[in-house]
Structure 1
């Protein structure tokens, strides 16, 4: 059941990809996920090229397993990061916040697999024609920057529209979500928020506590008026930000208010005044585990869920 086109494409044991979360997805986390059989991802975010190079080299000292780098295409350092990814022999690139088309030839020359994050059928169809290798189809349940369609609605529509492997993202934290994504037609899952609460994530303990203590309705959306909505845990910062939006603050004013707030939460641990990005599944997280325990737990729970489907219907996902 777990031997899919995604595991074959990436050379990994389980079709579980770690999300490329800025300030969270460091080499420590990525290496741990890769060692546990998934695909670890280093987040380039808005970091300069030299920082990304150092992260790649540090990861290689911890694991010889496949890994990837997430490139945010709106980063001011994107050209440098693309150069470094090509120079350092990174096997997989995931992309967000744009179309990676202009870089595809360079990635192909280096044998790099390219998997863009897509929030719509239209973008998936366009990128398939441009020659990407797979898609991460992300629903609005995800943390951080989000689209509008839910994972359950978006994933099967993209699966029906393209021939490439689809990796479902947004609202997946355990084996039940894993098996549900496979049932929707995906051949793998991307997991973000659950990995924040791992022992290997170099995140301030207060940030992890905020996720563990979150309830089902605590992950809200800010920034809709800017055209770049973000899902975060509600706190003093979100109350002030939403009030600014309500009072008609300009995009520039809102961007200035949000500048540096993710780092404030992740690194400094200020969970009242920082941006605590999180998916809607935060209410499901009750503990901090190693990446290996998280992945193996997801796999075992997916198998158990499939057995239950077999009992109820006379045949699970594998017949």
Structure 2
């Protein structure tokens, strides 16, 4: 939900409905008053994030507001520090192992730190390192299922769709380990491919204590993306979810658009790096692939011809635009018996 798909409007609405509203911090400044091409992108990101957190809090005085900070971006430390300094109550962090996250948030112990992991091995490593170095444990782990999640995926192309990487296999492992090793003090949050109450209850049956949902909230009035961005999901048909190769060196799950079609044909798309946002980027460093910040930004602004739209596997299930409050009523409905 990066590059302003989940910004202050959606985060505040989710918080007001009883969830944890998350502002994605990557490339926030591109559509802000603080950024001008050729000027300092990183300083503009800091100001844009401070704005988004303040606006979210204005709309949700008492709700839980947090941020998502990607380890893979060059201003990761600045985004974490800005988040905690401006009142974020939770930081979700992935796209790499957030080994130093507790250091950057050390002055704000009340902020929950929640790493994203793709395996039990990664969770064990991170918990051990944090405890040894910082004398603290993660407040939770998000497990992101690469078989169903949108955006950058935590496994290589050749490993996609392997059962051993999916939620049914990994979530029980994580839950059992947390219970045995830490008395269940590190709850597991499952993410990827979660659409309705049945999916939520299934994750609970596997041992998860919560879920993270992204694509389901795109077709809401409060989502910060342009109307045409949302409409592209309602118009999506079977077969319109594709896997691309990202400049970050990972596979990514996206909605089929003119951009992805051009990309698959080998045509030049968004070839100029505009932000130097990633630590490792084939567009900037090798003059290959495309500028992912530009492609995601123009899509969020409504250009479905030149834009990249990340999505999970449920993209084609959207039928209409609803309010976040309505969606929560549906998701909080009658529990489903899971066999």
TM range (shorter): 0.7 to 0.9
Would you say 1:271 and 2:269 are equivalent positions? no
Contact 1:211–1:278, Cα closer than 8 Å, also in 2: no
The corresponding residue for 2:316 is 283
CA distance in 1, matches of 2:247, 2:84: 37
Would you say 1:161 and 2:161 are equivalent positions? no
Contact 1:128–1:162, Cα closer than 8 Å, also in 2: no
The corresponding residue for 1:33 is 14
Quick one: structure 1 residues 299 and 256, their matched pair in 2 at CA, closer, same or farther if it must change by over 3 Å? Answer: same
CA distance in 2, matches of 1:31, 1:59: 5
The CA deviation string for residues 29-76 of structure 1, in whole angstroms up to 9 with x for no partner, is 100000001100011113311110111111111112121111112222
Contact 1:46–1:72, Cα closer than 8 Å, also in 2: no
**Offset, 1:224:** 6.7
Aligned pair partner of 2:100 in 99, 102, 110: 102
**Offset, 1:139:** 0.6
Contact 2:246–2:289, Cα closer than 8 Å, also in 1: no
**Offset, 1:241:** 1.9
**Offset, 1:97:** 1.3
Would you say 1:143 and 2:150 are equivalent positions? yes
Contact 2:69–2:76, Cα closer than 8 Å, also in 1: yes
The corresponding residue for 2:215 is 193
| More helix per residue | 1
* Structure 2: runs of 5+ lacking an equivalent: 29-44, 131-136, 156-164, 180-185, 268-280
Would you say 1:46 and 2:27 are equivalent positions? yes
**Offset, 1:257:** 5.3
CA distance in 2, matches of 1:190, 1:34: 13
Number of residue pairs matched by the alignment: 283
Quick one: structure 1 residues 84 and 194, their matched pair in 2 at CA, closer, same or farther if it must change by over 3 Å? Answer: same
Quick one: structure 1 residues 226 and 87, their matched pair in 2 at CA, closer, same or farther if it must change by over 3 Å? Answer: closer
TM-score normalised over the length of structure 1 = 0.82
Q: How does 1:50-69 map to 2 (within 5 A)?
A: 50-63=47-60, 64-69=62-67
Q: How does 1:164-175 map to 2 (within 5 A)?
A: 164-175=186-197
Contact 1:231–1:278, Cα closer than 8 Å, also in 2: yes
Contact 1:125–1:162, Cα closer than 8 Å, also in 2: no
Contact 1:216–1:281, Cα closer than 8 Å, also in 2: no
CA distance in 2, matches of 1:160, 1:147: 22
Contact 1:241–1:257, Cα closer than 8 Å, also in 2: no
CA distance in 2, matches of 1:255, 1:28: 32
Query: SS at 1:189's partner residue?
Result: strand
- CA-based RMSD of the aligned residues comes to 2.3
The corresponding residue for 1:261 is 295
**Offset, 1:170:** 0.4
Query: SS at 1:161's partner residue?
Result: helix
**Offset, 1:259:** 4.6
Query: SS at 2:99's partner residue?
Result: helix
Contact 1:203–1:266, Cα closer than 8 Å, also in 2: yes
**Offset, 1:161:** 3.2
Quick one: structure 1 residues 224 and 159, their matched pair in 2 at CA, closer, same or farther if it must change by over 3 Å? Answer: farther
Quick one: structure 1 residues 216 and 122, their matched pair in 2 at CA, closer, same or farther if it must change by over 3 Å? Answer: farther
Contact 2:222–2:324, Cα closer than 8 Å, also in 1: yes
CA distance in 2, matches of 1:238, 1:154: 31
The corresponding residue for 1:119 is 118
